[in-house]
Amino acid sequence: MRQQKLAYLALPLLMAAAFTSEARADGETIAVFTKNQTNPFFQTVRVGADNMAKTLNAKTLQYIPTKPDSIPEQLSQIEDVVVKKPSAIVFTPVDYKAMVPGVEKINEAKIPVVNITDRSAGGKFLSFVGADDYSLGLETARFLLKTLGGKGNIVIIEGVKGSLTNVDRVRGFNDALKETPGAKLLASQPGNYQRLQALQVMENLMQSNSQIDGVLAANDAMAVGAIEALDGANRKAQVIGINGTKEAIDAIKSGKLLASGDYNGFAQGCLGTMMAIRSLRNQPVIAEIVLKPTVITKDNFGPFDVPLEQRTCPTFEEAGKLSAK
């Protein structure tokens, strides 16, 4: 799996040639819905979508709520996109249940739609592209607990309560803790995937717990917030996040962050857009691509320390291999 990822990060010229053979000057417009502008993960999704659209001679129209993860705002954006009627939509719901009526409106408007990142609880989609959130949580937590020698006081900073990504990641965290009887879970509180909220949660947790050895954060932004809180209190703990963002890679390089589970937002943006455009061009699509996790550490961060603008999307053939479970 890791070798596959490294291959498409490292062979831009080869893949550019492959895409050139598929590209047509059709100029489709792909509306890309993401959840917010505050989580760097979604910027990687957007760059991946833009990269793929440009490669295939299409263009993107980005829909991002100004208030992070706002259900009313995303519903309003769906009303707008139904009127504008783009060629297709790549859709991340801000809430996997609450946005189902919105997806049904898209379906009624007969606009093809691909679901990425958070799997929608309803509606009809051409394809799903996402990651195994449970494995991301399980493997990153196992790495932290192994680093701590199988013992210590642990806190969990969760994402948005009830969101599918949060439910699965936290379930993975907790299962890793169950495997490690020497570790003690002190608290599990939401930071809503936001850096500032996680900083405040960590400050409160430190006031009520004199010894915290490890922090399991459900995304990188919250992990960085937790580190800022620890630094502010002149305390130390091992911290892990999820997303493999540039900020996380920089923190791993400097020794501030222990590890990040790679969620591969860039590939999700690429592949979601690829499936939408291929469908419009009557080419085969892959119904489901579930990316497997990689735990990025100080020993393997190199291939992931690549600026977004220098990355290249996977080919359709590589997508087929990535989708294998």
Closest to 64 (Cα-Cα) out of 35, 106, 102 = 35
Residue type, 18: A
Q: Please give the Cα distance from 208 to 253 (Å, whole number).
A: 30
Average pLDDT for 24-42: 88
Choose among 99, 89, 98, 25: nearest CA to 55. Answer: 25
CA distances from 56 to 13, 30, 316 (A): 15, 11, 12
User: Distance between terminal CA atoms of the chain?
Assistant: 11
Q: Please report which helix (H) or strand (E) contains residue 274, including its range.
A: helix 265-280
Over the stretch 173-231, which tens digit does the pLDDT of each residue have?
A: 999 999 999 999 999 999 999 999 999 999 999 999 999 999 999 999 999 999 999 99
Could you say which DSSP state residue 150 is in? T
305 Cβ contact list (under 8 Å, min separation 6): 249, 253
Residue carrying structure tokens 């954006």: 77
The model's pLDDT over 80-130, given as tens digits with 9 standing for 90+, comes to: 999 999 999 999 999 989 999 999 999 999 999 999 998 999 999 999 999
Report d(CA 224, CA 196) in Å as an integer.
Answer: 9
**Which residues, in sequence order, are CB contacts of 26 under 8 Å at separation 6+?**
57, 58, 280, 281
Instruction: Dig out the tokens for 109 from the structure.
Output: 């408007």
User: pLDDT digits over 139-162, tens only?
Assistant: 999 999 999 999 999 999 999 888
Residue 144: enclosing H or E segment and its boundaries?
Answer: helix 133-147
Contacts of 320 (CB under 8 A, 6+ apart): 286
User: In the prediction, which pLDDT does 27 show?
Assistant: 92
Alpha helices for 68-132 (secondary structure H)? 71-84, 100-108
Tokens representing residue 230 in the block: 């620890």
Q: Are 268 and 107 in contact (CB under 8 A)?
A: no
